[in-house]
Amino acid sequence: MDLLTALLGNLAQGFVVAMTPVNLGLCLVGCLLGTLVGVLPGIGPTATIAMLMPITFYLEPTGALIMLAGVFYGSQYGGSTTAILVNLPGESSSVVTCIDGHAMARQGRAGAALAIAALASLFAGTVTTLAIAIGGPAIASVALLFQSPDYVAVMVLGLVAAIVLAHGSLVKAMAMIVLGVFVGLIGTDVTTGEQRFTFGIDDLFDGVGFVPVAMGLFGLSEIMLNLESRAQDGGLARLRDRLWPSRDDFRRATPATVRGTLLGIVMGILPGGGSTIPSFASYSMEKKLARDPLRFGQGAVEGVAGPEAANNAGAQAGFIPMLALGIPPNAIMALLVGALMIHGIQPGPQIIARQPELFWGLVVSMWIGNLMLVVLNLPLIGLWVRLLQMPYRYLYPAIIVFCCVGVYSLRNSMMEVVFMAVAGVAGYVLRKLGCEPAPLLLGLILGPMLEENFRRSLSVSGGDYMIFLQRPISATLLAAAVLLLAFVLLPGVRHQRERLRDD
Amino acid sequence: MPIQTLVAGALPAIVAALAIFLQPVCAAQPVWPSKPVRLIVPQSSGGSTDLVARPLAQQLSAALGQTVLVDNRPGAGSVIGTEIVARAAPDGHTLLAIAASFTATPALHPKLSFDSERDFAPITVLSAFPNLLVVHPSLPVKSVQDLLALARAKPGMLNYGTSGAATGTHMSMERFMQMTGTRLVHVPYKGGAPSVQALVANEVQVNMATISTALPQVRAGRLRALASTGARRSTVLPELPTVAEAGVPGFEYASWTGLLAPARTPRPVIDRLHAEAVRAVNSPDLKALLAIEGAEPVGSTPAQFAAQIRLEIVRWTQLVKAAGIRAD
């Protein structure tokens, strides 16, 4: 009872802070900007927050954080828009949304997909906000239970699950994962500082970025394929009678949303988790759980709802370790730590006690922001869908220009644009060969993290491989990976998949 | 923030903006700066160098009557942004704000396209900050001497985390081991935050972490600080001894942020920038900001800065050879 009273008191304080006209305005500005950068491919929240940092010098710290946070979770909403409409992930976390979201759009159900994405995000945002409010510090301590061997187990499970991502040939899916891991090897070796496969090119020292590869593999190759098929102008948006999801859509999407949210919260608080990996994980899980996994890739609504909930939950859960531990789990949170430090606030374990108005104001503003985003996004759906009827000769050059600007802004470097172009051509060739890009991207994210943590585990254990089986978390996860692998390789499942491919 | 501060803060920016518009009208304008000045930060926005560079740029804008734009060019361990400045026209319109890794880079990357000494005109060291020697609280050591005793009793048993191979946290620890004849196992992480998190989680036992990342954890009792690495005690933890005081005489490591221009930038421009930068880092605003990070303003002369760069390059080259570290 006391806990509840305390919680209500805290939330009340949060509402007082978040509902001031200035902070409401900043929240709205942040959400609007976030939606915009989310919709624009390539321009991500990291670059936007970096650009906005100087402006926040002039704001109160709470207001500054409210606005910057709005940009981040707002972009998670916006990112799904282009993914669904033109198969171009607006954010890296909406890569998986492309798969079934765009398939839905091709069937004339773009409106339903967009609405499901927005509502799933709202649900995830609300639950995550509550989770932060109730158990922020307790949840944060979970992150401290994870050590390198446990990460290795998470990655192994993730890579095995990645096979499930694909809806065609198993062999090709595995080949794509391995290719992704190989591309991930490029760059500076974390353990020794040695350069690998960089050929003396400075821009390769930090490895090949995820965003340019995702833009190229999905967006550019999609454009090439469409041009080749000489599809009718505006043929993408064959509008059917309704923009709103059907009752059946809701029935299928609801459990997926709940699962995606939980997955997002758990993975979002882990370092390096962010919002991308949870979205992949959620997709794999939904496909695995579905009674008829064959629908995935053909416009399954669960494949939109789950990942969209997961990426929004993951984005917001990242605030937990940043605020409660003072340890930013990803690049964006590191930026926000910087923004707070400019104002003389050092995030850390004591921030909730010392700056309650900042913490609770932010928590409440995140919920208000999520609400704003849905109110903002639902009426826009009709407009977005209409945008697709724009003739290709205007639409495609515009998309390519935005992609180039966005990818350039990642590091203010032309090389990123070149990487995107190369990835675009590669994506075209791969898709012609019947290979899907999603497993490749997952390999690219997980491969380097797997290697880094694997070698670190062995450094820590003095070369003893048993470390992976001695820790309960890693042992459990590895066992799950083995079971999953066995299941995937079962003859029955394989035959079913191959039959599908031959159809 | 009170409204006065808001106005006071916005004013320089407005003045700077006006200055750009009015420029063609002004007949007697100085030769330099004749256009906005680019301050290259070869780090992402929000990093420790960026945190100093942005308020510095704001104050320089007001003082010079020209906008000073921060241009983040991260990548390849600061090499990409540094290279841009090395190749820029030496007219005072391109500047470099950089971290202490500047002097370690030549030792680590023998094939650099620029010469860290010859291609730059040092202006001043803006700020300096020590690292903290921190251990997990469960480790039965209360002092540097305890740590050395434990490390000598069980060589190769303790693990130390760093922000990555060949970063300041790694180099300072290598030097510590070299001077004390101890051997701890190096476990690199991707950045300071994960390495400190791993220490809090007791995956590694020791870290010579940057003060800004370690301080909040020390204050919360999640980490135990044994010593600071600077020549003098840190102003934010004055009760904490330096490593040298605690039993490793001669040990000193301080990270810094410096301001440089391309070589052959005219002397008057360097002098003017030096004067303005020193004034900026000693302003109450920047001093307060630096204090949060555990850093202090420096403001050394161009000659002192040049000498420091020369000395550090020699020192790092020797250490890298002795320890067999490579980044290339």
Q: Is A338 on the interface with B (CB under 8 A)?
A: yes
Chain A: closest CA distance from residue B45 (Å): 5
Same domain, yes or no: B154 and B71? no
Location of structure tokens 């130390």? B160
> Which residues of chain B does A407 touch, with a Cβ-Cβ cutoff of 8 Å?
none
| Complex prediction ipTM | 0.76
Same domain, yes or no: B13 and B96? yes
Give me the residues of B, 256-315, that contact A with CB < 8 A: 288-289, 292-293
Q: Tell me, what's the pLDDT at A242? A: 61
Question: Does B104 map to a domain?
Answer: yes
Q: Tell me, what's the pLDDT at A166? A: 64
Least confident piece of the model among A227-231, A266-270, B134-138:
A227-231
Among residues B186, B209, B228, the one where a domain terminates is B228
Q: In this predicted model, what pLDDT tens digit does every residue of A74-125 receive, in sequence order?
A: 888 888 888 888 888 877 788 888 889 888 888 888 888 989 999 999 999 9
Cα-trace Rg, chain A: 22
Q: Are A243 and A295 in contact (CB under 8 A)?
A: no
Largest CA distance in chain B: 75
Task: Give one DSSP letter per residue of A245-291, joined into a string.
Answer: PPHHHHHHHHHHHHHHHHHHHHHHTSTTTTTHHHHHHHHHHHHHH-S
Q: Is A475 exposed, middle or buried (0-12, 13-18, 19+ CB in 10 A)?
A: middle
Same domain, yes or no: B9 and B85? yes
Nearest to B74 among A194, A411, A452 (CB): A411
Q: Specify the 3-state DSSP secondary structure of B220.
A: coil
Q: Is B198 on the interface with A (CB under 8 A)?
A: yes
Measured CA to CA, the distance from residue A106 to residue A87 in angstroms comes to 10
Same domain, yes or no: B123 and B272? yes
pLDDT at B8 over 50: no
Q: Is A137 on the interface with B (CB under 8 A)?
A: no
Task: Give one DSSP letter per residue of A110-147, joined into a string.
Answer: HHHHHHHHHHHHHHHHHHHHHHHHHHHHHHHHHHHH--
Question: Does B82 map to a domain?
Answer: yes
Token pair in block for residue B185: 């196992």
Q: In this predicted model, what pLDDT tens digit does every residue of B41-93 receive, in sequence order?
A: 988 766 778 888 888 998 999 998 888 988 888 777 788 888 889 888 898 89
Q: Is B182 on the interface with A (CB under 8 A)?
A: no
Give me the residues of B, 81-100, that contact A with CB < 8 A: 83
Give me the residues of A, 392-411, that contact B with CB < 8 A: 411
Q: Tell me, what's the pLDDT at B97? A: 93
Chain B: closest CA distance from residue A7 (Å): 23
Token pair in block for residue A265: 């919260």
pLDDT at A142 over 50: yes
Give me the residues of B, 101-140, that contact A with CB < 8 A: 108, 111
Q: How many domains does chain B have?
A: 2
Same domain, yes or no: B190 and B91? no
Same domain, yes or no: B123 and B139? no
pLDDT at A234 over 80: no
> Which residues of chain A does B328 touch, with a Cβ-Cβ cutoff of 8 Å?
193-195
Measured CA to CA, the distance from residue B229 to residue B224 in angstroms comes to 15
Q: Is B197 on the interface with A (CB under 8 A)?
A: yes
> Which residues of chain A does B203 touch, with a Cβ-Cβ cutoff of 8 Å?
147-148, 460
Same domain, yes or no: B14 and B122? yes
User: Which neighbouring-strand residues pair with B127?
Assistant: B257, B297
Q: In this predicted model, what pLDDT tens digit does every residue of B194-224 receive, in sequence order?
A: 888 889 989 999 999 988 888 888 988 899 9
Q: Is A452 on the interface with B (CB under 8 A)?
A: yes
Measured CA to CA, the distance from residue A470 to residue B32 in angstroms comes to 66
Same domain, yes or no: B115 and B208? no
CB-based contact B216 A190, cutoff 8 Å: no
What's B164's domain CATH number? Answer: 3.40.190.10
Measured CA to CA, the distance from residue B317 to residue B320 in angstroms comes to 5
**For chain A, domain boundaries:** 2-502
Measured CA to CA, the distance from residue B156 to residue B184 in angstroms comes to 5
Q: Is A194 on the interface with B (CB under 8 A)?
A: yes
Same domain, yes or no: B121 and B259? yes
CA dist A152 → A165, A185, A354, A382, A453 (Å): 20, 16, 36, 44, 6
Same domain, yes or no: B135 and B122? no
Nearest to B165 among A51, A191, A348 (CB): A191
CB-based contact A349 B222, cutoff 8 Å: yes
Q: Is A347 on the interface with B (CB under 8 A)?
A: yes
Q: Is A371 exposed, middle or buried (0-12, 13-18, 19+ CB in 10 A)?
A: middle
Q: Are A110 and A240 in contact (CB under 8 A)?
A: no
Going A414 to A418 to A424 to A427, the CA torsion angle's sign is negative
Q: Tell me, what's the pLDDT at B28? A: 44
Report the run of H or E that residue A437 belongs to, with start and end: helix A437-461
Q: Tell me, what's the pLDDT at B9? A: 47
Token pair in block for residue A243: 């923009």
CB-based contact A341 B51, cutoff 8 Å: yes
Single-letter residue type at B303: A
Q: Is B239 exposed, middle or buried (0-12, 13-18, 19+ CB in 10 A)?
A: exposed
Measured CA to CA, the distance from residue B127 to residue B256 in angstroms comes to 6
Same domain, yes or no: B122 and B26? yes
Question: Does B216 map to a domain?
Answer: yes
Report the run of H or E that residue B161 belongs to, with start and end: strand B159-162
Q: Are A33 and A74 in contact (CB under 8 A)?
A: yes
Question: Does B97 map to a domain?
Answer: yes
Least confident piece of the model among A24-33, A40-49, A355-364, B63-72:
A40-49
> Which residues of chain B does A456 touch, with a Cβ-Cβ cutoff of 8 Å?
187-189
Q: Which of B110, B60, B98 is nearest to B309 (CA)?
A: B98
Nearest to B46 among A53, A193, A462 (CB): A53
Question: Does B298 map to a domain?
Answer: yes
Question: Does B237 map to a domain?
Answer: no
Same domain, yes or no: B39 and B116? yes
Highest mean pLDDT among B6-15, B106-115, B141-150, B154-163: B141-150
Query: Structural domain of residue B73, as residue ranges?
Result: 3-128+255-323
Q: Is A205 on the interface with B (CB under 8 A)?
A: yes
Question: Does B98 map to a domain?
Answer: yes
Q: Are A242 and A104 in contact (CB under 8 A)?
A: no
Question: Does B244 map to a domain?
Answer: no
